Amino acid sequence: MFEHVGRENLPDYFTRVQKRLADDGVIMNHGITSTDPGSGEAAYGGGEFIDRYVFPDGELPHLSLALNAMQEGGLEAFDVENLRRRYARTLRLWSDNYEAHASTLRKMVDEEKYRIWRIYLAGCAYAFENDDVAIYQIVGRKAGRRADTLPWSRRYIYQGDSH
């Protein structure tokens, strides 16, 4: 979600989430982030390409900016997981699948759209593989609650999960 909110809007976004969250509620926010501590653009013009052709006005904050905005918005992050490696694999599989079905896809869209999404999927896979961008899941709750109300491990997330 971070990439669609905009860096300047993150504190307001999290304030709105906090106001709608039940006192004992939990938020899980999944978002693509910049790996540049200054929240700079992705390498090789990737950010410009994506902004122009795929997701206009998207912005990638650094994880630290997102966490700071959560706290400003009245939320406490209590679990953070980087899914970059998994997302790199997912995007590589999507890209390979796209290539495997090229003839079908070319019948569905014009050549420009076909090429845009071809570059986008392969470029994003590369960016995640090479630490140009990351993707985080942040679990949080309203700030100011007692520490003994937090789970002691991630076991509660994975109960019943055979993996």
Structure token pair of residue 33: 């982030």
Residues found in the chain: 163
Q: Which among 10, 88, 124, 135 is annotated as catalytic?
A: 124
CA angle 127, 35, 25 (to 5 degrees): 110
Do 66 and 2 meet the contact criterion of CB atoms below 8 Å apart? yes
Strand partners, 30: 137
CA angle 86, 89, 91 (to 5 degrees): 110
Annotated catalytic residue 147: no
- Which phi and psi angles does 74 have, rounded to 5°? 85, 20
| Closest listed residue to residue 140, CA positions, set 79, 83, 82 | 79
Structure token pair of residue 32: 């693509």
* Residues designated catalytic: 124
